[in-house]
Amino acid sequence: MRGAPYAVAFGDNRVPRTLLEPKPHLLTDPRIRAAYSEGAGIHRIVPAAVAVPHGVEALQRLVRWAAETGTRLVPRGAGSGMAGGSVGRDVVVDMSQGFRWTAPDWSRRTLWAGASVTWAAVTDAARAFGLRLPPDPSSGGFATSGGMVATNAAGPRSVRCGSVRRWVEAIELIGADGEARRVTRGAGSGDRFPLSADQRRLVAGRFPKTRKNSAGYALNHFAESGDELDLLIGSEGTLAFVTAVQWRLEPIPADVAGVALGFRTLEQLTEAVPYLVALNPSAVELLDRTLLDFIRPAGVDLPEGLESLLLVEFERETQAAARGVVGDAVRGLAASTAHVATAVDRAGLERLWAVRRLASPALARLPDTQRSLQVVEDGCVPLERLGAYVAGIRAAAERHGIPVAVFGHAGDGHVHVNALPDVTRPGWSDGLAALYRDAVELLLRLGGTPSGEHGVGRLRAGLPERFYGPEVAALFRGVKRAYDARSIFNPGVIIPSADWAPLADLKVGPAAAAIPDDIAARLREVERTAGWAIPKVDLATPSPGP
């Protein structure tokens, strides 16, 4: 009947179009939706629509409309997150374009950055003033400020500087009611989610004793600080949209030196890492044998038979201090190292670390039948169990016929694993699922966490209860209700959906969602080249004819 309300479908919702807020501009072209169906992880999920808000007011209108209609929103930055938190079946909200502004206060060593501003842009602006944002995720060239806060991102230098949590002074956000507000470090909790003394003791007892952890809401940090900011950082877009971040910066250290150390056994590696961490390095990076085997064809000059290689960086205020601590590292580990190469300045360190930069190109040269799938890519264990974790992952991979490349942030006991299955081999997906299950059991036995820095996403949403227990999982659900009672923000992330299946919706294999071939090829090229800075709408533009 003319003038009667009608319904539109988003996900499982059918909602009346009798609205107080006007419907926001949504992109529903199938090609655009296909371009947003993948991120850097293992998933392909075609969204119902895409929104690209430009500015706070546009995002407020979108959120209020979503609240009125029950439409669910999936926040997304550059899409470089590994755990599947930036893809979903509902309305993907691209925050990578419309919040590009900065407001520095160099005298206070702070800088406000809109959610779209990348780590690289912050660092470039600060460098001219002798400052930097210390956490340096490998995705820093395209990782957005909003995305880094959402996942509590880290990187190689986290062994000294920690994750971004330590460097966030304030955030501006849009809550599930569409209201904008600012949350500042030291301002307290606002009583939105109070914790009792018993709950604080529960959290202290159940959270893993690892140097890094980004699995679930950071109730351990929140319990210690009583600061709402600590609850919001790392919440993966499930509690609010971050629209701006005030970063705290630090002076760039005057001098740097480093050393590469090769080991013939994992036991030697495990003994070496705590010794190196005690020397206060800025980075201790692990390249396992499984990765070295991939990069040797590029001409890397390393002895045969190395089980692992550590790349260690020391930042100091004088050249003498930097060189001195490298000498301490070499002398202290002389009995256990099979390879030593030192660097005494920044240029030398760049050459030393070139081996690390060969990893991504090597994996990009995989044959078309072999894919890099990050199914167990973020485990973190106590330092003394690092060797046991690497050995356990290697054994599980061999047991299930899945080649792997292992690397990571050894100074934090934090290991990334790229599974590299031949997707033409019968049973490869079963082997991948078995590797996932074995890695979870291994982390549980070793007192680890399934996520050191990339977050839970969809891939690991069902795991926090296994690691923390049902009481802490109930607290997580309470946090979600306190901020987003209708669950319109990123449902299925951190709090699992009822039908959670970690390896559902893979981007490869016969069950992968159908998308146009040219867009699938462009997404594969983005994955190969780490081209996440490309606006995803651009990927949907048809190629010009001959």
CA-CA-CA-CA dihedral for 334, 387, 457, 476, to nearest 10: -110
Question: 10-residue block means of pLDDT along the chain (546 residues)?
Answer: 32 43 87 96 96 96 96 96 95 96 96 97 96 90 94 91 95 97 89 93 96 96 95 97 98 94 95 96 94 79 89 94 94 94 88 79 79 93 96 97 94 95 93 97 98 95 97 97 96 96 93 95 90 91 68
385 φ/ψ angles, rounded to the nearest 5 degrees: -110, 10
- Please report which residue ranges of 226-358 form alpha helices under DSSP H: 228-232, 266-278, 289-295, 319-332, 346-352, 354-357
Neighbour tally for 409: CB within 10 Å: 24
All domains in the chain, ordered by first residue? 7-96+490-539 (3.30.43.10), 102-251 (3.30.465.10), 255-363 (3.30.70.2190), 371-453 (3.30.70.2740)
- The per-residue pLDDT for 545 is 55
- The per-residue pLDDT for 300 is 73
- The per-residue pLDDT for 365 is 75
- The per-residue pLDDT for 546 is 53
221: alpha, beta or left? (left if phi > 0; alpha if psi -120 to 50): alpha
CA 173, CA 152: separation in Å to the nearest integer?
16
- The per-residue pLDDT for 304 is 86
- The per-residue pLDDT for 284 is 95
pTM to 2 decimal places: 0.91
Beta-bridge partners for 414: 380, 409
